[in-house]
Structure 1
Amino acid sequence: MFRHVVLFTWAEDATDEQKAAVAAGLGRLPDAIPEIRAYALGSDAGVNPGNHEFALVADFDSVDDYLVYRDHPVHQAVIAEHVKPILAARAAVQFTV
């Protein structure tokens, strides 16, 4: 299995509506991209200071399936329309499980 983990920190002026649109848009991706095997996302619980604000974990059968997801037009549209306009920082890692 191949895992993708991404963390986001939002711009200070990001609204709750914009943040909700990111979650909704990303949350629709498993229905649009059959290569996704497992998918979890959510806002930080606020327990520790300095954390990123939002996380996504996606599992795939292979690197090739991850690449389909990465480059999929629906995924790219969510990034362009919802993520990038409010993004302050991003961290990501991919690894074999």
Structure 2
Amino acid sequence: MLIHCVTLTFKESASAAQIETFRDALAALPDQADFPLRICQGRDLGERPTNADYAIVAEFESTEDFYTYLKHPAHLALPQDHIESVQSVQFLVDEQG
């Protein structure tokens, strides 16, 4: 299994509606993919001033599925004009965790 973790910071001008649209588009991705995909996402709780604004964790059954996802039209269509910065990391886990 491949885990894809993303943190992002929104531009100060990002509205609540834009963030909600982003969230909804992400939530719709698993139904649009032709491979197994699980996504967990949410806004930062604000407990530390250095945290990013938002986090996404996506689980893929294989590395090939991850690369297919990166090129998938629904992924490429995610609204990004209100995002300031993005960082990500990917790692592999076996079935025992």
CA distance in 2 between counterparts of 1:91 and 1:37 reads 20
Report the TM-score, using the length of structure 2 for normalisation: 0.90
Cα drift, residue 20 of structure 1 = 0.6
Q: Larger Rg: 1 or 2?
A: 2
- Tell me the distance in 1 between the aligned counterparts of 2:58 and 2:90: 9
Aligned length: 93
Unaligned runs of 5+ in 2: none
Match for residue 88 of structure 1 among 80, 84, 87:
84
Unmatched runs of 5 consecutive residues or more in structure 1: none
Q: Percent identity?
A: 33
Match of 2:17 in 1: 17
CA–CA distance in structure 2, aligned partners of residues 37 and 73 of structure 1: 15
What is the alpha-carbon distance in structure 2 between the residues aligned to residue 60 and residue 36 of structure 1?
A: 7
**After the TM superposition, which segments of 4 or more aligned residues of structure 1 sit over 4 Å from their partners?**
none
- Decide which structure has greater helix share: 1
Give, in whole Å, the separation in 2 of the partners of 1:8 and 1:27.
Answer: 16
Question: TM (normalized to structure 1)?
Answer: 0.90
Superposed CA RMSD in Å reads 1.0
Residue 28 of structure 1 aligns to a residue whose secondary structure is helix
